[in-house]
Structure 1
Amino acid sequence: MTKKISRILVANRGEIACRIFKSCQKMGIETVAVFSDADRDALHVEKADLAVYLGESEASKSYLDMDKIIAAARKTKADAIHPGYGFLSENAEFAKKTEDAGFIFIGPNTNSIEKMGSKKLAKEIAEREKVPVIPGYNGKNQDIKTLVEEALKIGFPLLIKASAGGGGKGMRIVRDKHQLEDNLLQAKSESKSAFGNDTLIIEKYIEDARHIEIQILGDKHGNIIHLFERECTIQRRYQKIIEESPSPVLDETVREKMCSAALKLAKALKYDNAGTVEFVYSQGEFYFLEVNTRLQVEHPVTEAITDIDLIEWQIRIAQGDEIKVKQEELQQKGYAIECRIYAEDPLNNFMPSPGKISLWTQAENENIRYDAGVKSGEQISPFYDPLLCKIIAKGNTRMEAINTMIYSLKQTKCLGIKTNQLLLIKLLEDSQFQAGEYNTKFLDSYDIKEKVKASKETTALALITVSLKSAEETLRKRQLLKELPFSWRNNFYKPTSFQFTIDGEEHSVSIKKKDLYEIGIGKDCYQAELSKSSSKVIVDGIAYSYTLVEEKDEFFLHFAEFPQICVIKGERFPDVQKSESEGAYTAGMPATVVKVNVSKGEKIKKGQLLLIFSSMKMEQNLYAHIDGIVDEVNVKPGEQVDAGKEMLRITPLNKTEK
């Protein structure tokens, strides 16, 4: 029976909420957003017809609170709830509560979520359906002793992962027994925090692997189709960063086998919405990995090569519509690639980069699509996933799609925080990637710092631009003797000096005004000026387009060949290494303290784990850099800390012994 949906509450945030709203608006369906304290001014709140406040910024008190979300749906008289991805999207209890409250849950039936949402049950069903699986342990006994024993039986290397969810949360690769117990404990903690369930699966880790998934779509009338594969092998910390379709390595025979295996699982479940069957692929063989009973982050790749709006069909299926298209009518049209822009710093071990986006602008190209959840002026919170935006490029050939994506990444302006933008460009330009010859360890062997660090030429261009801007600002603010040129002084041979820092390296710049500005950086000298008619800096006769945003003592710049560089007059965040050498351990970013492993007066060894903190849903370990005595402990578990907060202080052992 068809039940018309006229208003949908989206129980999510960020880019996926904005994406769902687009399909709703196209279908003439009203939308309801929900938001926390941290998201009061977020883009998804702005884009919705109605918005309901849920509570505090912590996900457990807002986006993971089932009762609050259902109450919001009731208050706004919504017909249905769409969970998006993450949060409660694969929570069978939430799906059941939604339906029991009289709302339509836009997702698969509860039975499918319970069985396939659990990696353990999913693996058992896959085995029953004769789908190849990876050797491992997914038993009920989850005490650490048992997990260690079972892991040793399987042998190293091992993959530990959370049974209740994905996205890299609770996932660890372990290569020897000395790392095993600590990784199990931390995976349990991360899994419990992200999904409310600390059940783990342990599997043999396949080294030379690719990650390939099949999109499935079923309705309530027994029709089930697949929409081909997505190659999701390029990952960082088990989170996908580049996805594409078709896969550059699958031939038609393997593609057909993989798609058939996915359909077999879906039919066994009587699957009735959008879902994804994930496989590990290596040397012509594939093994079942898991089923995601929800919309995937990378669903736009499939939409681009099939011209099917997956969210529209999620809604149509939920209200009882039948899938009319037949499997044989579907085909892959051209090539599509998706890149995920994350708020993180590749030069600093991908540490999260919360803060204010001073400027956000997107490239214009008919073969490009942006699924963004941010805007200029938005504050990026440390409480949630660091995904800011997805860019999807389409082409008739794979290289067309790659080149279009590179152009768009270069033209995208995200100034005010650190992102992985340049790393994505370098990966797409890599000859090995362009040949399709990569696996899930591709980034592990990649010299990231060398690739994304600003070159001497780029550094000079940034320093020249900022120096010229600073000089002109000085002239603009001068109250007396305005007719005198910049840098005029009694000793007119002596230039003015500026001190700047880029990526932790200090630079001294001298500048003097003649016909043009003469700028000295180290042993190099340049003649430069700013164009009076456009945003260009002219250096030694060559004009470079730039965009600059200034926030206090920080200058954020965009150049076409280097889309993001920050020039500062001081450290943006405290230098953790410097402070640690003096015995103080400070927070390098806003974060939540998860666990404190030491106490005041305790004698500690270099390399000992001091505490665990979390930012943007990823846990980080803080280790001792010296032998010593814990002098102060200034934080406790659950405490929110700002950048610069002194968390611990350690007196070096050689000082305590004097």
Structure 2
Amino acid sequence: MIKRLLVINRGEIACRILRTAQALGIDCAAVYSPADRNALHTLLADRAFALRGNAASDSYLDQQQILAIAADWGADAIHPGYGFLSENSDFARAVENAGIRFVGPGADAIAAMGSKARAKQLMAEAGVPMLPGYHGDAQDVTLLREAAQKVGYPVLLKAVSGGGGRGLRVVNADAEFDEALAAVQRESQAAFGDQRVLLEKYLTQARHVEIQVFADDHDNCVHLHERDCSVQRRHQKLIEEAPAPGLAEHTREAMGAAAVRAATSIGYSGAGTVEFLYQGGEFYFLEMNTRLQVEHPVTECITGLDLVEWQLRVASGETLPLTQADIARRGWAIEARINAESGAPDFLPSTGLITALVWPQGEALRVDAGFRSGDRVSVFYDSMLGKLIASAPTRAEAIEELSQALAQLRITGISHNADFLGAVLDTSAFRAAELHTGFLTQHEDAIAVALRRRRSGAAAPHDSGWAALAGWRQNQGQSNTFSQQYHLRPLYAGAAASAATDINTLTGTGAQGQAQQALKAPLPGRIIKIHVAAGDSVVAGQPLLVMEAMKMEHTLKASADASIEAVHCDTDDMVQPDQLLMAFVASDAP
């Protein structure tokens, strides 16, 4: 068994790994950035080592810094959790070369699946069903646009080296293609150092169904059944459940067998997830995540297994504890990701001090938390505070348990999404398992009704015929995946200044009759691209600038014609909420 384990992650997954490893008698150390100096995972670890910077590149992504800490402390294994360096083949190889065990698959397996284009080729050779698309090396814009036309819109543009919902855009028409491609390339270069893309047919009513696989170093590989992760926003999962509702048994078996073929074809070891799109009784390979997934607790709940313990045992050279025939599934489990974010329509990341946090308790509930009262949510990392998981004999009972738990959750000091998630659960469409990746957009009106009832304390009738909340729109439909949009509307001084405005709009007005306006930052973040300069004229819908905050790209667009008077920020600037970014004069100023 591993003796000394260095955990190089943060939040709930770091806490989970530390607790499981310590229960196995393993000496555990953690790392932390200055922003995480007093984070929960640093208190749980037997030792905690400081990293130099707050930005991910200066802390949890700094390979040399982490390897030096591991060597100095005498670690014989490193667990990367998920995110950060968990799917970095260069890091896995560097860990192996240092004589330290990487808790995860080998570097070659990570590299094979790390390139989405190469993964598609490998999976096709392994006989795994594939979507039509383009996975080639040539990246000429004209060639890619022609490939999209051949496949037929809508298509999905995807970063070759992407993951975690980054570097994705749905393109519905030829006129959108060039701007969407540029955005995916920019985001991919910034996040993964690789701007190559692939494209494939976008299924408008597809479900996201994935198979948990596990392999050891002794040629054993099994699957641990499936999960449905279809409820997503910007291709990031919000609610996950196991098993996937409504699948025929022969489909479950076929997907499980395909996932095992996928893993064995690349000599896999450890935990992994093979993701599929499912529509009309058919399934298609999406990608393989060569790590533990955020949603692994629902699999643990229906199998009674500890996947982190399995990871540590496999990394210690042991064989898998069970064969495929031994892995039964029982009951139902549903997980909700609790994020620090504002409400509809924009779902902005929320940062600041958590003045109080009380997680609900119950026999049917599991809480995987990385934050507590007194912690501070930083702009430098993602917005997930923790996960609530409910399990029960039936799906209906699990939904009800989770719905009540979300209502009992208490968080003050920052905004969070618990009410919204509860409203999703309360809709009749979710309860009837009418799931697909466009669920939130299709049912936004019903969710709005459920949200209003939930906040008023009324019993949820699960999607009555009442009218939706006026003005409530998710604002992030399938045609604008992942890149958040803030639509900017100028306000004029005087009587017109009280006119209705969109969320995060332009702020500040001049004296009577003046039309000069100030664009201020809606949240803390980094300016990554500025589209305009002083003196430019802009039209409604034109991008003004792009911010990055908490692992998301946020595009600020104009919703009225205007002239840019001044730009008060530069690329790579770190900005704070309400910081002045631009001043302009509206074209129809009085």
TM-score normalised over the length of structure 1: 0.79
In the alignment, is the contact (CA less than 8 A) between 2:295 and 2:335 conserved in 1?
Answer: yes
Most deviating of 96-105 and 431-440:
431-440
Are 1:608 and 2:542 matched, yes or no?
yes
Match of 1:304 among 284, 301, 304: 301
Q: Cα deviations across residues 68-126 of structure 1 (Å, max 9, x unaligned)?
A: 11112112221111111111111110000011112110001112111122211111111
Task: Provide the C-alpha distance between the structure 2 equivalents of 1:31 and 1:253, rounded to a whole number of angstroms.
Answer: 43
Are 1:33 and 2:66 matched, yes or no?
no
Match of 1:88 among 71, 85, 88: 85
In the alignment, is the contact (CA less than 8 A) between 1:24 and 1:31 conserved in 2?
Answer: yes
In the alignment, is the contact (CA less than 8 A) between 1:346 and 1:452 conserved in 2?
Answer: no
Are 1:290 and 2:287 matched, yes or no?
yes
Are 1:626 and 2:560 matched, yes or no?
yes
In the alignment, is the contact (CA less than 8 A) between 1:579 and 1:586 conserved in 2?
Answer: no
Over 3 Å counting, the alpha-carbon distance change for 1:455 and 1:262 in structure 2 is closer
Question: Counterpart of 1:259 in structure 2: which amino acid?
Answer: G
Tell me how far 1:46 sits from its aligned partner.
2.0
Are 1:595 and 2:529 matched, yes or no?
yes
Are 1:346 and 2:275 matched, yes or no?
no
Q: Cα deviations across residues 510-563 of structure 1 (Å, max 9, x unaligned)?
A: xxxxxxxxxxxxxxxxxxxxxxxxxxxxxxxxxxxxxxxxxxxxxxxxxxxxxx
Q: Cα deviations across residues 4-47 of structure 1 (Å, max 9, x unaligned)?
A: 31111112111111111111111111221112222222222222
Match of 1:325 among 322, 325, 348: 322
The equivalent of 1:576 in structure 2 is: 505
Most deviating of 236-245 and 67-76:
67-76
In the alignment, is the contact (CA less than 8 A) between 2:426 and 2:450 conserved in 1?
Answer: no
Tell me how far 1:578 sits from its aligned partner.
4.0
The equivalent of 2:424 in structure 1 is: 427
Where does 1:58-457 land on structure 2 (aligned, <5 Å)? 58-447=55-444, 450-451=448-449, 454=452
Q: How many residues align?
A: 544
Task: Provide the C-alpha distance between the structure 1 equivalents of 2:532 and 2:454, rounded to a whole number of angstroms.
Answer: 43
Task: Provide the C-alpha distance between the structure 1 equivalents of 2:449 and 2:34, rounded to a whole number of angstroms.
Answer: 38
Name the SS of the counterpart of 2:32 in structure 1: strand
Tell me how far 1:459 sits from its aligned partner.
10
In the alignment, is the contact (CA less than 8 A) between 1:346 and 1:423 conserved in 2?
Answer: yes
In the alignment, is the contact (CA less than 8 A) between 1:385 and 1:616 conserved in 2?
Answer: yes
Question: Counterpart of 2:538 in structure 1: which amino acid?
Answer: I
Are 1:640 and 2:574 matched, yes or no?
yes
Over 3 Å counting, the alpha-carbon distance change for 1:277 and 1:457 in structure 2 is closer
Task: Provide the C-alpha distance between the structure 1 equivalents of 2:43 and 2:471, rounded to a whole number of angstroms.
Answer: 37
Tell me how far 1:604 sits from its aligned partner.
2.3
Higher strand share: 1
Name the SS of the counterpart of 1:317 in structure 2: helix
| Larger Cα-atom Rg | 1
The equivalent of 1:53 in structure 2 is: 50
Name the SS of the counterpart of 2:335 in structure 1: strand
Name the SS of the counterpart of 2:166 in structure 1: coil
Question: Counterpart of 1:443 in structure 2: which amino acid?
Answer: L
The equivalent of 2:498 in structure 1 is: none
Task: Provide the C-alpha distance between the structure 2 equivalents of 1:457 and 1:264, rounded to a whole number of angstroms.
Answer: 47
Name the SS of the counterpart of 1:589 in structure 2: coil
Structure 1, unpaired ranges of 5+:
461-502, 506-573
Name the SS of the counterpart of 1:259 in structure 2: helix
In the alignment, is the contact (CA less than 8 A) between 1:336 and 1:401 conserved in 2?
Answer: yes
Tell me how far 1:195 sits from its aligned partner.
2.3
Name the SS of the counterpart of 2:442 in structure 1: coil
Question: Counterpart of 1:390 in structure 2: which amino acid?
Answer: K
Tell me how far 1:453 sits from its aligned partner.
5.6
In the alignment, is the contact (CA less than 8 A) between 2:7 and 2:14 conserved in 1?
Answer: yes
Most deviating of 196-205 and 219-228:
196-205
Task: Provide the C-alpha distance between the structure 2 equivalents of 1:404 and 1:455, rounded to a whole number of angstroms.
Answer: 18
Task: Provide the C-alpha distance between the structure 2 equivalents of 1:504 and 1:51, rounded to a whole number of angstroms.
Answer: 48
Tell me how far 1:58 sits from its aligned partner.
1.4
Task: Provide the C-alpha distance between the structure 2 equivalents of 1:642 and 1:623, rounded to a whole number of angstroms.
Answer: 19
Tell me how far 1:197 sits from its aligned partner.
2.2
Tell me how far 1:374 sits from its aligned partner.
0.6
Task: Provide the C-alpha distance between the structure 2 equivalents of 1:383 and 1:589, rounded to a whole number of angstroms.
Answer: 12
Name the SS of the counterpart of 1:33 in structure 2: strand
The equivalent of 2:520 in structure 1 is: 586
Tell me how far 1:629 sits from its aligned partner.
2.3
Name the SS of the counterpart of 1:19 in structure 2: helix
In the alignment, is the contact (CA less than 8 A) between 2:419 and 2:454 conserved in 1?
Answer: no
In the alignment, is the contact (CA less than 8 A) between 1:279 and 1:286 conserved in 2?
Answer: yes
Most deviating of 206-215 and 423-432:
423-432
Tell me how far 1:457 sits from its aligned partner.
8.4
Task: Provide the C-alpha distance between the structure 2 equivalents of 1:371 and 1:196, rounded to a whole number of angstroms.
Answer: 32
In the alignment, is the contact (CA less than 8 A) between 2:130 and 2:284 conserved in 1?
Answer: yes
In the alignment, is the contact (CA less than 8 A) between 2:419 and 2:455 conserved in 1?
Answer: no
Task: Provide the C-alpha distance between the structure 2 equivalents of 1:250 and 1:383, rounded to a whole number of angstroms.
Answer: 40
Most deviating of 78-87 and 35-44:
35-44
Task: Provide the C-alpha distance between the structure 2 equivalents of 1:19 and 1:251, rounded to a whole number of angstroms.
Answer: 33
Tell me how far 1:198 sits from its aligned partner.
2.1
Over 3 Å counting, the alpha-carbon distance change for 1:352 and 1:213 in structure 2 is same
Task: Provide the C-alpha distance between the structure 2 equivalents of 1:231 and 1:339, rounded to a whole number of angstroms.
Answer: 12
Tell me how far 1:504 sits from its aligned partner.
12
Task: Provide the C-alpha distance between the structure 1 equivalents of 2:262 and 2:14, rounded to a whole number of angstroms.
Answer: 29
Question: Counterpart of 1:576 in structure 2: which amino acid?
Answer: T
Question: Counterpart of 1:583 in structure 2: which amino acid?
Answer: Q
The equivalent of 2:19 in structure 1 is: 22
Q: CA RMSD in A?
A: 2.2
In the alignment, is the contact (CA less than 8 A) between 1:5 and 1:29 conserved in 2?
Answer: yes
Task: Provide the C-alpha distance between the structure 2 equivalents of 1:412 and 1:99, rounded to a whole number of angstroms.
Answer: 42
Most deviating of 232-241 and 348-357:
348-357
Q: Cα deviations across residues 478-534 of structure 1 (Å, max 9, x unaligned)?
A: xxxxxxxxxxxxxxxxxxxxxxxxx999xxxxxxxxxxxxxxxxxxxxxxxxxxxxx
In the alignment, is the contact (CA less than 8 A) between 1:576 and 1:587 conserved in 2?
Answer: no
Superposed structure 1 runs of 4+ greater than 4 Å apart: 452-457
Task: Provide the C-alpha distance between the structure 2 equivalents of 1:320 and 1:388, rounded to a whole number of angstroms.
Answer: 33
Task: Provide the C-alpha distance between the structure 2 equivalents of 1:504 and 1:285, rounded to a whole number of angstroms.
Answer: 38
